[in-house]
Amino acid sequence: MAVEIGKKVATFTIEGTGGSFSLTDAAGKWLVLYFYPKDSTPGCTTEGENFRDLCSEFEAAGALILGVSRDSIKSHNNFKSKLNLNFELLSDPDEVLCNQFDVMKMKNMYGKQVRGVERSTFVIDGKGVLRQEWRGVKVPGHAQEVLNYIQEQ
């Protein structure tokens, strides 16, 4: 069952660079879950850097940032280290979280149809309710837009 704005998000537990993460770990905080296609690719690198650069402002607003892709923990650890990311990355190789948030889409890559992650961001409140979503995200200015949304709440 896909998520819906205004509804409670079904609990989940997933492995990440900081160990196992459960939705309940974010209780009482805003949670920013941003799904991206692949570690160490140009758009995903820029998006990670943008969230990194605003991380202290997100924290000041009571928000936790987590990046999610289908990459392995090893790949995530390398990506996190290379970019000096100050937040954790969640590994979803079996697409459990990707399917819960309905971010798997058919995309064109070099003229071929491939199934991949549609760049998307979700904001969940401290009670586990989905409050905002952005799908088909364009990277420039996006992290700031998400921060502005949280700061206005």
Active site residues: 44
Buried b or exposed e, range 8-17, using 16+ CB within 10 angstroms: ebeebebebb
Specify which residues 91 forms β-bridges with. Answer: 69
Name the residue type at position 122: F
Q: Which residues contact 8 (CB under 8 A, 6 or more apart)?
A: 127, 128, 129, 130
Q: Give me the residue label for tokens 């570690």.
A: 39
Any idea what the Cα angle at residue 90 is, between residues 87 and 95, rounded to 5°? Answer: 155
Distance CA 88, CA 91 (A): 10
What six digits make up the tokens of 115? 């199934």
Q: In this structure, which amino acid lies at residue 126?
A: G
